[in-house]
Amino acid sequence: MRSRLFAVAALGASLAACGQPQVPPAQNYGSIAGRAYDTASNQPVAGVVVTVDTILIATTGADGTYKIANVPLGAYQLQASAPQGYTVGSLPYAGGSITAGETIPIDIPLTKQ
């Protein structure tokens, strides 16, 4: 009985491992983080949608900050969409390259329309 239970458990574990996507370790990624702010008042702006390579998305919180983790290594493109009433200014380092474990700071300047 015990060997039968072991065999069923081993089979279940083998089947569970099959077909599962392999996720690379965290050290194979970088992060991008920053703050969205009003250029006239330096106040934080919530609701800014920040996108990296059109697949990784974050929205700034009430304090204007965002963080996008698990950015694949290599080249990236960052875009920001301003909430109603604002336009996005020039984004420094909106495109570049990221290395393992690196966190790239990119603040997002916004101007009221």
| Interatomic CA distance for residues 69 and 89, integer angstroms | 23
pTM comes to: 0.74
Q: Which residue has the higher pLDDT, 37 or 93?
A: 37
Please enumerate in sequence order all residues whose Cβ is within 8 A of that of 74, keeping only pairs 6 or more positions apart, or say none.
97, 98
74: left (phi over 0), alpha (psi -120 to 50) or beta: left
Residues in the chain: 113
pLDDT at residue number 22? 58
Note the CATH number of domain 26-112: 2.60.40.10
pLDDT surpasses 80 at 101: yes
If you average pLDDT over residues 73-81, what whole number do you get? 94
* Tokens of residue 47, six digits: 């609701």
Q: Where are the domains of the chain?
A: 26-112
Tell me: the pLDDT tens digits for 3-60? Answer: 554 444 454 555 455 555 555 555 689 999 999 999 999 999 999 999 999 899 999 9
